[in-house]
Structure 1
Amino acid sequence: MPKLTGKTIKAWEADRDLNAELEASIADIEQGNVTTYTVTTLTSAARARLKSGLSQTEFAALLGVSRRTLEQWEQGRREPSGAAKTLIRIAEQCPQALKEVAETR
C-alpha cells in the first residue's frame, strides 16, 4: 500500500468520478449486492462509561484502573473483577452519581 500523503490524496481525489461511484452504489443496492454489518452489543463497561459522559481516562481513574484495562473491558477482551463489576453496575444504573464523584475529585 502506498504511503498516503497530501499529494497522493489530492491525486486520488482528482481522479475520482463521484457521480459514477454513486450510480454504481445505487445499482448495487437495487441488485441486492449490499454488505451487511453485524452490530455487536456494548459491554456493560462501555454502556456505563457512555451513560456517564466521561472519557476513558476519566472513567478509568474513578474505577481505579488504567485506561488500557478499561479499554480491554469495553472491547470484551477481559472481564472486570467482582468489585469492578459492582462499580460498573452502579455507574450504569446511576450515571449521575458517578458524575458527582468525578466533579468532587
Structure 2
Amino acid sequence: MVKLSEKELAAWEKKRDLNAELLQSLREMKRGDWARKTEFITQPDGSVRRIITRRDGTIEKDEIIPAEKALVATARAATGLSQAAFAKLLGVSVRTLQEWEQGRKMPSGAAATLLKVASRHPEVLQELAA
C-alpha cells in the first residue's frame, strides 16, 4: 500500500463519492462478496496459522497463533460462522470474541467449555445457528 502525501490525500478525498462507495459495499455484502477472508490452518504442534487475504489476492496478515490461544479461532473456523453470528450464539459481544481471538483475553467458565464443544463438534453449533 502506498502512503499518500497530505496534498495527494486531500485531492483523493475531494473526488470521493462516499454514498456510491457505501452503496457498492452494501451490494457486495448482499451478494455474499467478501473484502477480506480469514483462513485457519491447524499445525501439528497445536498452534494455528491464520492467513488474512484481501479480495485482490494480497495477503494482509500471515501469523502463527500459539496453541493456548488458538481454541477460539479454531472453534469459530470449524463452525464456518462470522464473528457476529458466533458471538451472538455464544451470548457475548463481538468485541469480547475479538479479544479472545486475538489473545488479549481468555474465555473462562461456561464460555471455555462451550468453545471446546464447538471445536470438537462444530455441527452442534451450526445446527443451533440455523
**TM-score, normalising length: structure 2:** 0.51
SS of the residue corresponding to residue 64 of structure 2 reads: coil
Partner of 2:126 in structure 1?
Answer: 99
Structure showing the higher helix proportion among its residues: 1
In the TM superposition, structure 1's runs of 4+ consecutive aligned residues that sit over 6 Å from their partners are none
Counterparts of residues 26-105 of structure 1 (less than 5 Å):
39-41=64-66, 43-103=70-130
Q: Deviations over 1:79-103 (max 9, x none)?
A: 1121100000000000011000001
Q: Could you tell me how far apart the structure 2 residues matched to 1:57 and 1:38 are? A: 22
Q: Could you tell me how far apart the structure 2 residues matched to 1:38 and 1:56 are? A: 19
CA 38–72 in structure 1, closer or farther in 2 if over 3 Å, else same: closer
Q: Could you tell me how far apart the structure 2 residues matched to 1:38 and 1:55 are? A: 20
Q: Could you tell me how far apart the structure 1 residues matched to 2:95 and 2:63 are? A: 25
SS of the residue corresponding to residue 54 of structure 1 reads: coil
Q: Could you tell me how far apart the structure 1 residues matched to 2:72 and 2:110 are? A: 13
Q: Could you tell me how far apart the structure 2 residues matched to 1:100 and 1:91 are? A: 11
Greater C-alpha radius of gyration: 1
Tell which has more relative contact order, 1 or 2 (C-alpha 8 A, sep 6+): 1
Q: CA deviation at 1:43?
A: 1.7
Structure showing the higher strand proportion among its residues: 2
Percent pairwise identity? 47
Gaps of 5+ in 1: 7-36
**TM-score, normalising length: structure 1:** 0.62
How many residues align? The count is 73
AA aligned opposite 1:83: A
